Amino acid sequence: MRERSHPTCVLVSGGIDSAVLLHNFLADGGTVLPLYLRCGFRWEAAELYWLRHFLRAVRSPSLAPLAVVAVPLRSTYGAHWSLTGRHVPGARSADRAVYLPGRNILLLSHAAIVCAQRRIATITIGILKGNPFGDATPGFFAHLAGCLTQALQRPILIRTPLRDLSKTQVIQSAAKAVPLQLTFSCIDPRGHLHCGRCNKCAERQRAFRDADVPDPTVYAN
């Protein structure tokens, strides 16, 4: 069981992976700071809506209030589809189509600053097996943690407890205990609803189907 005197920061997005990660830490007796970084992506209003519902559902004395940090990317990303909503990758698009350049560097560096100020040494992120991108490898996380530790003069450890699991396996492990109906995965939402047609909705539908778990999601289409 984790010591309550050593809290962890969990990067939360409202999605299945980070929701299960947070739930697991709480179930093991860990003290958790949920941290959401708001970058200006067009799905963030829906993400935060569902994330707040999820956090209320799993509330615990060990769960700190949600911290939201603004990291605007408009000047960096320009007219990227994630900000404009134009040409959003559809259900049949490849994984690389939804890659957000440098996102993990941005998320983790800002999270490290927050953690250093609060004397939290561990940042946890919901990276899964099969993630094909260079900023999702064990080597990347180890090197970045070293750089952040040196820069901030505070120990920073980046943990990826789900790295050996697929999304299907995550759903199977969590279906009976975690309110997955309160998670959100869409990159082209209709209000607070999943669109049902984008790359991430297709991934979500496929994972529930492969897990042989009924999909509790309400899709607009």
In the chain, what are the domain boundaries? Answer: 8-211
| Per-residue pLDDT reduced to its tens digit, 102-115 | 999 999 999 999 99
Distances from the Cα of 155 to the Cα of 114, 123, 151, angstroms: 13, 11, 10
Does the domain at 8-211 match CATH 2.40.100.20? Answer given as: no
Q: What percent of the chain has pLDDT over 70?
A: 98
112 vs 2: CA distance, rounded Å: 20
| Per-residue pLDDT reduced to its tens digit, 6-47 | 899 999 999 999 999 999 999 999 899 999 999 999 999 999
Residuewise pLDDT in 10s, the chain (221 residues): 444 458 999 999 999 999 999 999 999 998 999 999 999 999 999 999 999 999 999 999 999 999 999 999 999 999 999 999 999 999 999 989 999 999 999 999 999 999 999 999 999 999 999 888 999 999 999 999 999 999 999 999 999 999 999 999 999 999 999 999 999 999 999 999 999 999 999 999 999 999 999 999 999 98
Long-range contacts formed by 71-79: CB under 8 A, 24+ apart: 71/37, 71/38, 71/39, 71/106, 71/107, 71/110, 72/38, 72/39, 72/40, 73/39, 73/40, 73/41, 73/106, 74/40, 77/101
CA count, 13 A, side-chain hemisphere, 7: 16
The DSSP secondary structure of 20-74, one letter per residue, reads HHHHHHHHTT--EEEEEEE---TTHHHHHHHHHHHHHHT--TTBPPPEEEE---H
